[in-house]
Amino acid sequence: MHRYASAAAGVAEAEEVPLKARANSEILRTSNLRKIFTSGGQEIAPVNGIDFSVAEGEMISIVGPSGAGKSTFLHLLAALDTPTSGEVYFAGDSLGSLKEAELAEYRNQSVGFVWQRHHLLPDFSAAENVAMPLLVRGRPLAEGLRTAKQWLGEVGLTDRAGQPAGQLSGGEQQRVAIARSLVNSPALLLADEPTGDLDERNAEGVFELMQRLHKSHHLTSIVATHNLSLAGRTGRVFLLEHGKLGECKDALAETAGSLEKIASAGAQTSGERVTRV
């Protein structure tokens, strides 16, 4: 088994180990991470030299205005995008040193990713959507569907397994997406505005579900969100602005103040313009 698959399996098998006993082990780290885009003859760096680390078992949130670079940062952590410079380390190993096949294995087995929009296949059943990552790994269809139905039970949708995803409510679709992200028992759960398209009641339910799964499956979870109330219920809160990521010691007061300041200044994006080309 590849070392990344082994790390994910180790998390899944450690159900009897208290979270506090495992919380000091670093699982994810970035070193001087930078991503530059060119727009209108200027370079924009939404991620501009970020040093960041997360301990195994933590649940943290990242807040910031639209366009600040939260999605870009999560995509770099998940190896869905390549940094301009700097490194992402998982379990002590640099993602930049991996071959494409190894990166694909990391994305499939070690990382579960939840987007704001669920990206389900509407004509496929809920169970078929959840089973997709297993089928990509070459698991037999019957086995994949059996595991998918177990995960649908975990998110409270046992009776919706055979329903086409396009016929589910928004809250149900996001629960299916969460089950799909976890069906391979990853070590990391990365969520990009997972409640952004939901009403208040469904947003609360989805966030509580993520908290429960985080604890019961001993995940390391990073959630990007605009919802300061939900962010304040995670272990640590980070603010991303001007390409820099800083921890907010007073999660609600300090973060809300920073965002208010950005809004009042009329900032449309927090991606730092670094130089003219």
CATH number of the CATH domain containing 122: 3.40.50.300
What was the pLDDT predicted at 117? 80
What was the pLDDT predicted at 135? 94
CA separation for the pair 231, 13 (Å, rounded): 28
pLDDT > 70: percent of the chain: 81
What was the pLDDT predicted at 266? 37
Specify the higher pLDDT residue, 231 or 265.
231
Specify the higher pLDDT residue, 213 or 258.
213
Q: What is the pLDDT of residues 161-175, one digit of tens each?
A: 999 999 999 999 999
Least confident of 49-58, 198-207, 238-247, 252-261: 252-261
Please state the pTM of the whole predicted model. 0.82
Specify the higher pLDDT residue, 254 or 107.
107
Q: Cα-atom radius of gyration of the chain, to the nearest Å?
A: 19
What was the pLDDT predicted at 93? 92
Q: Of the candidates 179, 275, 189, 263, which has an alpha carbon nearest to the alpha carbon of residue 226?
A: 263
Are residues 223 and 194 in contact, defined by beta-carbon separation less than 8 angstroms?
yes
The terminus-to-terminus CA distance of the chain in angstroms comes to 46
Query: Which alpha helices (DSSP H) does 14-154 contain, by range?
Result: 19-22, 70-77, 100-105, 126-136, 141-154
pLDDT > 90: percent of the chain: 69
What was the pLDDT predicted at 226? 87
Specify the higher pLDDT residue, 83 or 266.
83
What was the pLDDT predicted at 269? 41
What was the pLDDT predicted at 253? 52
pLDDT band at 254 (very low <50, low <70, confident <90, very high): low
What was the pLDDT predicted at 115? 87
What was the pLDDT predicted at 43? 87
How many domains does the structure of the chain reveal? 1
How large is the average pLDDT for residues 201-223? 95
Provide the angle, in degrees to the nearest 10, between the axes of the packed helices 170-182 and 200-216.
20
Specify the higher pLDDT residue, 128 or 271.
128
Q: Of the candidates 89, 13, 72, 1, which has an alpha carbon nearest to the alpha carbon of residue 270?
A: 72
* Domain interval for residue 112: 3-276
Evaluate if residue 154 carries a pLDDT over 70.
yes
Evaluate if residue 270 carries a pLDDT over 60.
no
User: What is the average pLDDT value for the chain, to the nearest integer?
Assistant: 84
How large is the average pLDDT for residues 62-90? 94
pLDDT band at 256 (very low <50, low <70, confident <90, very high): low
Q: What is the pLDDT of residues 14-64, one digit of tens each?
A: 333 333 334 469 999 999 999 999 888 888 899 999 999 999 999 999 999
How large is the average pLDDT for residues 85-89? 97
